[in-house]
Amino acid sequence: MNKGFNMINKRNLIMLCSVVLFHTCLLGQNDTLQLSVKEAEKYAIEHNYSMKNASIELKKAKSTQWYAISSMLPQVTGSLDYTNYLGYELNMMGMQIPMDPTSNITVQASIGVSGAQIVSATLGRMAREMAQTNYQITEHATRAQIKTIYFSILAMENTMKLLGESMENILRLETYVQQAVTVGISEQTDADQISVQVSSLQNSINSTRRSVEMLYNSLRLLLGASVNTEIRLTEGIEDILNIENANNLLNEHFSLTNNLDYQLIEQNVALAKRQVRLNEWNYGPTLSAYYQYKSKIKTTAFDMNPPQVIGITLNVPIFSSGSKLSKVNEAKCSYKSAVNNMEMVADQLKVQDRQLRYNLHSHFENYETQRKNIDVSQRVFNNITNKYEQGYASSMDVTNSSNNLITAQSNYIQAMLELINAQIELEKLLNK
């Protein structure tokens, strides 16, 4: 019996372990994102909180537009009523007329149209278009932020790789110097200088590692992923940093009407102009009509209410003590201000276009310079190291060449970051 019981326990334990392993695998899959740049952009568009809010605002604008349109459409209401006079009799010229209980079903259709309502419906459509443009602006900004952080992570990870290679060289040199001190052909101060260099380099590696983790956290926030989600980037620097695309971007023509910010300011001007028309229509008449049908389920002997009624009303404003005129003037001032803002934004965007092209061109030249500099610095470091091992260079020469190499590596990474950021900014301006 104990043997059978043990077999059952073993079987249950195996099943439990299998279930735990299965759920662990599922959790691992759900908590790990392997993303290229395009996949990261797509994921952010679906899960980013700013994108979600922009989508909500777009839906809200559509609802507002329909509300304005529906105010001009027929409105139908229905009612059912019952009245009991509790045996009361109406005395009319000596005649007693009993007031029997009554019950009616009433259906009424009405419609009212004014110029202000028509303009309001147009304003609703324009508000929806502005919400759509805002959604596109948010989408472009999110994509740009994803690219920037994605590339920053790759650049910092590449920095860690370069620092790691420098650390290997310094550690190898430290071992050699320590052996030289032991046999008496080098002084202890040489070993101490190299040891300080190792500590400084290790601090740089640790600081870079923390920066990488901070960037991953920023990427999680942009993606709308949980803090425990593991992210793996599937593209390298070479896949993103396309020098040919950067050069082609400089040849792209800047069109104001293609810029999303300018489109939004244009829509704002059109909206301000419609606001003037809306206030002017406050002087206009309002036409309304209704039709009512009443079915009498139970009626009294004395009933003067007809079963069908139709009515038309035309309201014409005559005098408003200048309140309507002040509203029109206020709207006109807002419109003129919007036009001035549009012209100012147009000038700013043209200046920005020149500046971003200048930045991209300058950062490209700096990138080429730093790319060559890092090769030279690496060769100098290798040469100084070999001379030191042969006794033709001092430990100070090694330290200086090592610092120069680390500086060159840092400048190279910074040049890449500046180049890709300049490219992203110009793409955003050109709505690419």
pLDDT tens string 104-139: 888 888 877 776 677 777 777 888 888 899 999 999
Letter for the amino acid at 343?
A: E
More confident residue, 309 or 123: 309
Among 18-22, 145-149, 207-211, 284-288, the range scoring the smallest mean pLDDT is 18-22
Q: What is the rounded CA–CA span in Å between residue 360 and residue 422?
A: 5
Q: Is 361 exposed, middle or buried (0-12, 13-18, 19+ CB in 10 A)?
A: middle
Average pLDDT over residues 336-364: 93
Residue 76 has pLDDT above 90, yes or no: no
Query: What's the pLDDT at 26?
Result: 43
Residue 299 binned pLDDT confidence (cut-offs 50, 70, 90): low
Q: What is the rounded CA–CA span in Å between residue 164 and residue 363?
A: 26
Q: Domain ranges for the chain, please list them.
A: 55-74+115-283+323-430
Q: What is the rounded CA–CA span in Å between residue 124 and residue 335?
A: 18
Residue 362 binned pLDDT confidence (cut-offs 50, 70, 90): very high
pLDDT digit string, tens, across residues 269-297: 988 888 888 777 777 787 788 788 887 76
Residue 300 binned pLDDT confidence (cut-offs 50, 70, 90): low
Which spans in 184-288 are helix H? 188-223, 237-240, 243-250, 260-280
> Is the distance from CB of 130 to CB of 58 less than 8 angstroms?
no
Token couple for 255: 């069109």
pTM above 0.75, yes or no: no
Backbone dihedral angles phi then psi of residue 242, each to the nearest 5 degrees: -105, 105
Q: What is the rounded CA–CA span in Å between residue 63 and residue 128?
A: 9
> Is the distance from CB of 363 to CB of 420 less than 8 angstroms?
no
Residue 304 binned pLDDT confidence (cut-offs 50, 70, 90): low
pLDDT digit string, tens, across residues 225-257: 888 889 999 988 877 777 777 788 888 888 898
From 54, 50, 52, 151, select the one nearest 425 (Cα to Cα). 151
| Fold exhibited by the domain 55-74+115-283+323-430 | Outer membrane efflux proteins (OEP) (1.20.1600)
Query: What's the pLDDT at 353?
Result: 93
